[in-house]
Structure 1
């Protein structure tokens, strides 16, 4: 093994160690203790180092260095999945980020060495020590911003915002455009770096790079503005819904205060008539109503709390007993609470209308919200079931059996919202002819 190959091998191993360490910091939900990963990182780094060196020699002999970057990205993806158990899209975003800035820092250090030491690219590539220095500088130039918490938080937060609003068509299109532009720029830089010995016009190349960077910056600006406007729109609509639900809540409280005197009079009448059984039944019912209201008020999410209280009031006005059982923590839903509120609103409204339409003898609706491991499970159950021909078209957009201004989009929108939340909306009928709508979404 000559010194050039040895230098390339050492450079590849060192680069891979730093690469995997930075991936652990960047892709984890929080900065963890990396000590348990050290043996794996070093073993895979050595394997990757030998692989990178051998493939470099192989593709160099075939004069197909363009294929080397593709195979290296594929191997990097496999390593990340095997070692860190990362998610597919998180891994892809990191790979694009790393390879782009890796190529950029590589060309910067090469030009710097050529300018300061008055060397050519052949001098650098054939010098093992300089090759190792290039790899170290390239890797550390990437890991430094990733390692600093103050830099990592905005990056991860921004990526989470993109994930949350990804179903909005414009945001999705701009994000894909940015990723493709980054990949194109990486390919240009890599191609130029590997062909510096050829007759390439540096000014023309610089203009192309600047145009690409300008397009990326404009796309990022559009993405920031679009996400900001989408957030404002979501907040505005959420505020309207919350205002309506809180208005319903206040009306319910006022109604209970107004009825307080009536309750006292009824209790007094039952007591005066020595109707202890009637008094006991009345007090139990009154206590149950108060407990339900208090439970809703204690829900740790204002959107869902206000919605459920308004539905209790609506159900009571139609003689329907709406029973709610919540054992899950809802305070961490954040922006997703708005979509979950819209889903619950549609499904509970459908349950109320189904009971009215079918004139059920049993008038009740049960709502269960609980945690199932890493998922949030929501079930809405009501008596009765729709006819088979209706059941088959429940989620069909525009289909409705109701008259008036109903658009027939309610359940279809619920299905889309569940998909946006990376969850599922299921429909089933129990042997006792109960209709069940089940929603399962990730907690985070």
Structure 2
């Protein structure tokens, strides 16, 4: 009878709250999965209580719970094993942190054995550490927060991806530290505690943790080097592409220059001085217009604009430029500026050409306000709808 009461009023609500938190954190709606979560909680809580009744080691119960919850998440919530394990690890880590904080406070006044021996005390403790998790689940769903959405956005940036990977390693380490402290603080059946105490191996275990820390640090450094190397390769590839475009433009200009010299030479030979004067005047005007067209002094951006202006001229789109600062914004990577400006210019060019805009133009504003860089690109194509 005691087993059934403990199962219905303590274990089942606890596992329901824990499994619910894991699913809500990963963007699933409570209304759509509440019955699935209830079914999963019925199975997982029963297996956990059964192992408790058989006096299994707490370490073994935690491992089995992780395995069972991962399988249940895989079967009923998400088919991807990584997602299933992520939901399990997140929910168990959350409940362990909440539980140990509450128990550390309560056991200052009541012993752990007294709590285990009283149904009402166990109910009170369970309610106390589960309440913050249930409230958190409610607000997470209401605000539409999601771990997966956050990771997708963050992993676009390789630098942030590195920090997220590092944070994952730190959280994993935190899990083991909490687990170790939990096993020693609570006077319960933990296999890890018995092994360490029986062989007087606490110093040895501490040394093991230090070694694990060193390995984690080495892994983080190696990850950083890998991401840096990837970024360098990507940057070189993009710069090479832009340099190739600039060289192509220079070769074309050289070809045009030779043709112009030959034309001038031919006019001189034919003594067509009136036509020659008009031709040279037009040529000088063209050269002056080309020289004053790009005033932005940021070299990568200037090189990019040379190639983009060539494309605009081919499509008969006027290029306008407003430069109000000589600042090259050296604190911003040239690679990032080129990537952003290139994408926006391509979008602007597509907007004015595909819509057949009359007298199309693209204007770039390069300015500065206090310590803020202001780069604005506009065009006279169709407006984007507000929605």
Q: TM-score scaled to structure 2, two decimals?
A: 0.48
Bigger relative contact order, structure 1 or 2 (CA pairs below 8 A, ≥6 apart): 2
Larger Rg belongs to: 2
Query: Which has more helix, going by share of residues?
Result: 2
